[in-house]
Amino acid sequence: MAQSKGTVVLAYSGGLDTSCILVWLKEQGYDVVAYLANIGQKEDFEAARKKALALGAKKVYIEDVSREFVEKFIWPAVQANALYEDRYLLGTALARPCIAHKLVEIAQREGAQFVAHGATGKGNDQVRFELSCYALCPKIKVVAPWRLPAFYQRFPGRRELMDYAKKHGIPVPVTPQTPWSMDENLMHISYEAGILENPKNQAPPGLYTKTCDPAKSPDTPDVLEIKFERGVPVKVTNIGDGATRSSALELFVYLNDIAGKHGVGRIDIVENRFVGMKSRGIYETPAGTILYHAHLDIEAFTMDREVRKIKQGLSLKFSELVYNGFWHSPECEFVRECIGRSQEPVVGTVRLSVFKGQVYILGRESPRSLYNEELVSMNVQGDYEPADATGFININSLRLKEYHRLQSKVTVKQDE
């Protein structure tokens, strides 16, 4: 064993990588404190605690951050209608700063100078974890084994990790029958690597775990009403059986169950990682998909057109910042504040149907609606003079006429 280097708090998952990293860190001379975040994943946390202690961790923290994850990270993303590259609802990207916040807190509590993680040297998560850690505790030092030659040259592939695990008595659940990597939290589960690295390969039928096959989902839809205040869901009611949920965590878990039952929230995409490469990822985001459609609808119903255009630009920026790991940056804080301000009128209830992998909006109502039924009606003139539209069209056509007049001159000159 090497000379003691101090205490390191390891973001521990209980899987192959972080179990091997825990033992390897001890070999390097660190005293290891393991931290496992309960962020809504299906996990035997007590078994993980025993495993970490058996592998040599001097202490194990298991922290339930599920409620904080929903209220402080998922809700701002719902308010923003956050989507990265038009499709990804940011489930992993939102979880990382939430996990890192508690990681740094534990390091400070333990007087540890170091934190460590199992993120690879090619992915986004290394950036997300470390930018959050440095923002929250500028003096912290990060040990990233997958970027250290001594580690990645010793373990160039999964086989070497498996051999190391067997040598050190590390029990691992990874088998050749599930040749892909998974990362789960309350909001979603992601699948990547292994056979999925070939983007042509279709996802195997047994891959999905949060949602059922839409073709085998129930033949009767669930009709829900979701109530929003300031762009945040505060109550969900199932019209069929009268079930209601109003606390943030319970509401989100319930929507996960309903969406999962109907096969809602699956995507298979190729995305652009922040580090510069494209990667293939398969995601299940059940509740997030329902809330994205519901919020989009109530926002369009209640928000001024020009404010919404600006807010859409902010949403794009927010999504990019979150994906790239800048949750704790001053620009992301500023964007969140702006988006939050835009949500003041986003109040009301959306009725929707969840059925066969899809979310269908059925109707909406709001005391802050900007929709004027009399004004828009084809049967009532209302406070609108149709003749005024003539001048409106003439003014807007002036620019087009002038542009095409010039184009005609240019074309004639080119033909001479």
In 114-223, alpha helices (H): 125-136, 149-152, 158-167
The one catalytic residue among 17, 31, 183, 222: 17
The reply to whether 181 belongs to the active site is yes
Compute the chain's Rg from CA coordinates: 26
Distance CA 37, CA 288 (A): 20
* Catalytic position from the list 66, 132, 181, 315: 181
C-alpha to C-alpha distance for 383 and 406, rounded to whole angstroms: 39
Six token digits for residue 126:
């290394």
125 is annotated as an active-site residue: yes
Q: Which residues in 301-324 are b (16+ Cβ under 10 Å) and which e?
A: bbbeeeeeeebeebbbbbbbbbbb
Annotated catalytic residue, options 125, 183, 222, 297: 125
Number of H helices, E strands in the chain: 14, 14
17 belongs to the catalytic site: yes
Kindly report the backbone phi and psi dihedral angles of residue 366, in degrees, each rounded to the nearest multiple of 5, phi listed first: -160, 140
| 181-184 and 59-64 beta bridge pairing | unpaired
CB 98 within 8 A of CB 69: yes
Q: How far apart are CA 169 and CA 190, in angstroms?
A: 28
Structure tokens at 89: 């609802």
Rounded to whole angstroms, the Cα distance separating 95 from 162 reads 27
Identify the sign of the CA torsion 3, 20, 45, 248: positive
297 is annotated as an active-site residue: no
Among the options 31, 66, 96, 279, which is catalytic? 96
Tokens 């079930």 correspond to: 243
Tell me which residues are annotated as active site.
Answer: 17, 96, 125, 181
